[in-house]
Structure 1
Amino acid sequence: MKESWDLLRSVVACIQDPWCVIGDFNDILVDEDKCGRVPHPFWFLQGFREAVSNRGVLDITLEGYPYTWGHCRGSNNAVKEKLDHTMVNKIWSDLFPNARLLNLVASLSDHSPIIFVE
């Protein structure tokens, strides 16, 4: 997780052009990004939030199913989380104001397929 936080910090610090980073950050930004079992420790949330906040980084909102990963679906131990994120800077957001992410329900993988539409 910390590696993805460091990557994001480096992108913000080094790239002045429009950029978009898409992937499995293996972490959540807010408590609502997780459903099931015990909550994430505060320091997990704080680390990722710090890497994103006050740096002009935007997380494009998902449309559809709110979680991108699931474990033990259909059982009492099921866990669902939004681990996949699309992070952009303001310049990119201004260039693609109609960008949307459509999150679908996965049938075979533990990660949901995400369609990026502009």
Structure 2
Amino acid sequence: MDFFKKHIIQIYRATLFLVLIVLFSRHFIDFNKKFIDILWTIMFCLIGILHLTMAWAFDKPALKLTFLSCGVYVFIMNFLHDFEIKSIIGIICIVTPLIIAGFLPKKEENEDSLI
């Protein structure tokens, strides 16, 4: 369990990287449609988990609620039946936290930490 706690970010990044590599390689290798659908589901679940974990990093309730609601929707949208605006809401929920994170001020490093 200690190994998992120390390396959770690396495991997450490696998993997402592998999923993206396989999704990109589908242009060259003919994978089964069910396999590709499972990969898309895994990718969107990983994005949803990322937004959910980012929600705990903020102190402001509005930011927490935004990241939490977007993460929950992106996670469960794969398991919902198709409806007219499902994709539009999904795109908004994927992009909104990224835009918000881009506008947040970055924490400045102390001069002591550079030594």
TM-score (norm 1): 0.27
TM-score (norm 2): 0.27
